[in-house]
Amino acid sequence: MLRFSTAGESHGKALVSIIEGLPAGLEISAGYINEQLQRRQKGYGRGGRMKIESDEVEILSGVRAGRTTGNPIAFSIENRDWENWQEIMAVEKVMQTGEREVKRPRPGHADYPGAIKYNHADMRNVLERASARETASRVAAGALFRKFLECFDIHIYSQVISIGTVQVVPELVSRQGLGDFQARVEESVLRCSDKSKEAQMIEFIDQARLLGESVGGSFEVGALGVPPGLGTYTSWEGRLDARLSAILMSIPAIKALEIGDGIANAKTPGSQVHDEIHYQEDRGVFRLSNHAGGIEGGMSNGETIWARAYMKPIPTLYKPLVSVNTNQWVEQKADVERSDICAVPAAGVVGEAMLAYGIADAFLDKFGGDFIEQIQENYDRYCEYVEKVWKWVKI
């Protein structure tokens, strides 16, 4: 089983993670992981924290001479803002009463229910862990998962498709055009391939900033080159769409998700929804559409797997909403923490990391193995079988 866990607080000394189940022999470097961390920190509408942090990973175990050993992989990411918080967030020292305590929970955040669940009079204990700062660990872990998938010519992408009310027509991403598409997305401050719509998105964010508001949006994330047969129809918990949905919905502030054209499919006749199956002798089995998002009956069907995630506005507002002071039990404005106006582009990068984890986990379930060459042999044999018996050819 492939799994990873994270620990650490937003203003603590560091974020730490452990990955278990990655096979031996995977080539990896801190530089490759840092490239992904830098992508997460970009994006128009980010707050002051991004001016402080310049995330870099320190690999602590599980990698030797640039390759995974099969042992658990541990790594840390230093919080550079720790020097300003070490008195407040000290592990042993008792904090002075009232020093940066949080008593006025932010509507929409974990503050209030978390305080109830864990009996925290000071809600900083909640918000420090519930903060989206934790997603830096996910992106670092995701870099290893996407590197694993690249060994089998499976590639992950994302694109922002809306900011507030500004919507773009998502670009159809193909294996042949992937490089050009990713270059254009990476050049965009909002990870959007439509330059004219990007300008409107920027204006929308600027207006929100002036009003003390925050804004949400949506992004698409996909995986190209996934073979058919990942996941299963035989049990509810093994269905690939269910597994990926849970993984993507775990990203902070994501409140809705669709696999493929899920929302549009619900109001469209079946003849226009289901992806017809074609065959030509020189081409094998193929589809002309992919409304299903590459998943049928809980299993990958050989098409691109793609989903869209919808992010609510960030709960911290610089013109805060009405809340309750839980020390005095009177209505007051909610506490304000340093925050972003818009973090949809960063959420897309986190979405890539989480999709990479979900696909890599299902891939290892299917093909197994303790080292890369063993998994490659299993995968090649399966591809030969699928092509010979079922006429599916990986493009």
Phi, psi of 104 (to 5 degrees): -120, 95
- 315-345 pLDDT, tens digit per residue, is 988 899 999 999 999 999 998 887 799 999 9
Of 38, 25, 33, residue with least CA distance to 66: 25
Rg (CA), the chain: 22
For residue 149, how many other CB atoms are within 10 A of its CB?
22
Phi, psi of 321 (to 5 degrees): -85, 170
| Topology given in CATH for the domain delimited by 3-390 | Chorismate synthase, AroC fold (3.60.150)
- 3-state DSSP helix/strand/coil percent for the chain, to nearest 5? 35, 20, 45
Q: What is the pLDDT of residues 186-212, one digit of tens each?
A: 999 999 999 999 999 999 999 999 999
- Domain regions of the chain by residue span: 3-390
What integer pLDDT is reported at residue 233 of this predicted model?
A: 98
48 three-class SS: coil
Reference 53, options 107, 22, 108, 10; nearest CA is 10
One-letter amino acid of 364: L
**In this structure, what are the phi and psi dihedrals at residue 258, rounded to the nearest 5 degrees?**
-135, 140
For residue 295, the cross-strand partners are: 300
**pLDDT digits (tens), the chain, 395 positions:** 899 999 999 999 999 999 999 999 999 999 999 999 999 999 998 765 555 668 999 999 999 999 999 999 999 999 999 998 988 999 987 666 567 899 999 999 999 999 999 999 999 999 999 999 999 999 999 999 999 999 999 999 999 999 999 999 999 999 999 999 999 999 999 999 999 999 999 999 999 999 999 999 999 999 999 999 999 999 999 999 999 999 999 999 999 999 999 999 999 999 999 999 999 999 999 999 999 999 999 999 999 999 999 999 999 888 999 999 999 999 999 988 877 999 999 999 999 999 999 999 999 999 999 999 999 999 999 999 999 999 999 87
Taking alpha carbons only, the member of 123, 127, 131, 125 closest to residue 102 is 123
pTM: 0.96
Q: Rounding to the nearest 10 degrees, give the CA dihedral for residues 282, 283, 284, 286.
A: -160
pLDDT of residue 97: 56
322: β partners? 333
